[in-house]
Amino acid sequence: MSFDLDLFVIGAGSGGVRAARVAAQSGARVAVAEEYRVGGTCVIRGCVPKKLMVFASSFPAVVEDARAYGWDASIGSFDWSRFRKALHDELDRLEAIYRANLERAGVTIHPARAVLEDAHTVRLDSGERFTAKHILIATGGAPFIPEIPGRELASTSNDMFLMEELPRSILVVGGGYIACEFACILNSLGVDVTLAYRGPQILRAFDEEVRGHVSAAMRGAGIDIRTETDVAALHPAADGVRVAFADGGQGDYGRVLYATGRVPSTGGLGLEALGVRLRKSGAIAVDEWSQTSVPSIYAVGDVTDRVNLTPVAIREGQAFAETVFHGTPTKADHDLVPSAVFTQPEMAGIGMTEQEGRERGGVQIYSTAFRPMRTLFAGREDRVLMKLVVDSESRRVLGCHIVAPEAGEMIQLAAIAVKMGATKEDFDRTVAVHPTMAEELVTMKAPSRSW
């Protein structure tokens, strides 16, 4: 059977773009359909604009420290509209690069929504149809707002980069990394921030000691964190949104941001009619080669709900293209993936948490918390946390967790050692770089506790 294309990719986010480019480099005929903007969640409405907002929000503290170091420094008011224009100019630049890279590789881009008609046929909302030997779904995920009265009054993370002006106050609903990152960003930009989370502690999937450390720092910075708190309904108010809480209380806020999770974007693609198996979450079920239950259809990235991180989606897209189009069977490695959360303070980690070690047994915990030199001199109460989870018998470092400025930069390098199987003695043999915060990773001699 002859096909119009060798590969049709639905979704031009990080995973889909990488797969399309690598496949096209083999000489394959490749097309991509994207209904919004090329670049996907990370580039357009996620990691990149959020990190730029993190940078923007960091300057008041820098100026405050500068005064403690002898500078006659001051900072004026923050001009959101000016920043917003520069932000979107940068996103336009990045999108143009993604487009150019696809086109340079010979990939055809269709600015349209695509649905599957059968195992080898894609229909665009323009009415065009294409047949392809292989179809890759890389449609990512979308923010989730629960079905509560007044849900239409809530914003999501997608909306935060499009605001015409900063609100005077905001209620952030959720306790995951997106909720906590935006709470810290907006707080540092001068917004009165309240964070409501229905669980007992924020950042549920992370190390318990790290969670407590970050939560205390966020409260110390002025964020009102209300745990075991849920929202019952939203109502219009004269100057924003009136929130009715499940405990009977209420409050008025300039804006309400829901960051209560994301769901895979699988609706309306025609998957179930074709027999593509979906998991309970709505994610596409795939095997270790990213192949679905329909052999000609594959899926990568957040739509599969494996490890929902941009670099992982890129690895999955690369592995798919190497396997199917370059004749090099390759599986994406989902083990020991480092991650960072750009709260203030920043946190990062890789591998086993202390609570996982406690349940497993046979581990030693090396942990230290201290006031770092830079902010100590400036009179701030900031504290850094460093932690290693070590196997008691093999001495292998099973986990590393950091709360500190630039924790993400530190964990990237520490992750190499952890991924290679370094032991605690390998860390100990490494000479410290002094004076740095990271030197504590190689100077912790005695375990804090054992499980």
Reply yes or no on whether the pLDDT at 93 is more than 80.
Answer: yes
Cα separation of 167 and 237, whole Å? Answer: 14
At residue 81, what is the residue type?
Answer: S
Cα separation of 354 and 337, whole Å? Answer: 17
Question: pLDDT tens across 361-405, in order?
Answer: 999 999 999 999 999 999 999 999 999 999 999 999 999 999 999
Sequence ranges of the chain with CATH classification 3.50.50.60: 5-140+265-326, 144-260
Sequence ranges of the chain with CATH classification 3.30.390.30: 345-450
Report the mean per-residue pLDDT for the chain: 96
pLDDT, mean of residues 416-435 = 97
Cα separation of 6 and 30, whole Å? Answer: 6
Reply yes or no on whether the pLDDT at 250 is more than 80.
Answer: yes
- The per-residue b/e assignment along 113-148, b for 16 or more CB within 10 angstroms, e otherwise, is bbbbeebbbbbbeeeeebbbbbbbbbbbbbbebeeb
Residue 287's pLDDT is 97
- As a CATH number, domain 144-260 is 3.50.50.60
178 among annotated binding-site residues: yes
Cα separation of 102 and 450, whole Å? Answer: 52
Shortest CA distance to 159 belongs to which of 256, 91, 233? 256
Question: pLDDT tens across 265-288, in order?
Answer: 999 999 999 999 999 999 999 999
Is CATH 3.10.20.30 what the domain over 5-140+265-326 is classified as, yes or no? no
This prediction has a pTM of: 0.94
280 among annotated binding-site residues: no
Contact yes or no for 271/290 (Cβ under 8 A): no
Element (H, E) at 366: strand 363-370
Question: Where does residue 223 fall: left (phi above 0), alpha (psi -120 to 50 degrees), or beta otherwise?
Answer: beta
Residue linked to tokens 């110390």 = 220
Cα separation of 120 and 319, whole Å? Answer: 21
Cβ-based neighbour number of residue 358 at 10 Å: 15
Residue 422's pLDDT is 98
51 among annotated binding-site residues: yes
Cα separation of 276 and 271, whole Å? Answer: 5
Cβ-based neighbour number of residue 431 at 10 Å: 8
Residue 217's pLDDT is 96
Cα separation of 154 and 196, whole Å? Answer: 14
Q: Which residues are registered as beta bridge partners of 302?
A: none
400 among annotated binding-site residues: no
Q: How many helices (H) and strands (E) does the chain have?
A: 13, 22
Superfamily (CATH) of domain 345-450? FAD/NAD-linked reductase, C-terminal dimerisation domain (3.30.390.30)
Cα separation of 219 and 213, whole Å? Answer: 10
Residue linked to tokens 């504590």 = 440
Residue 416's pLDDT is 98
Shortest CA distance to 260 belongs to which of 353, 141, 138, 84? 141
Q: What tokens does 263 get?
A: 């769901």
Question: pLDDT tens across 145-184, in order?
Answer: 999 999 999 999 999 999 999 999 999 999 999 999 999 9
393 among annotated binding-site residues: no
180 among annotated binding-site residues: yes
Question: Where does residue 140 fall: left (phi above 0), alpha (psi -120 to 50 degrees), or beta otherwise?
Answer: left
Question: pLDDT tens across 12-70, in order?
Answer: 999 999 999 999 999 999 999 999 999 999 999 899 999 999 999 999 999 999 999 99
Model confidence at 110, pLDDT cuts 50, 70, 90, reads very high
Question: pLDDT tens across 196-223, in order?
Answer: 999 999 999 999 999 999 999 999 999 9
Residue 176's pLDDT is 95
Reply yes or no on whether the pLDDT at 334 is more than 80.
Answer: yes
100 among annotated binding-site residues: no
Model confidence at 97, pLDDT cuts 50, 70, 90, reads very high
- Give catalytic residue positions: 434
Shortest CA distance to 214 belongs to which of 364, 369, 398, 51? 369
Residue 1's pLDDT is 74
Reply yes or no on whether the pLDDT at 417 is more than 90.
Answer: yes
Residue linked to tokens 């581990």 = 363
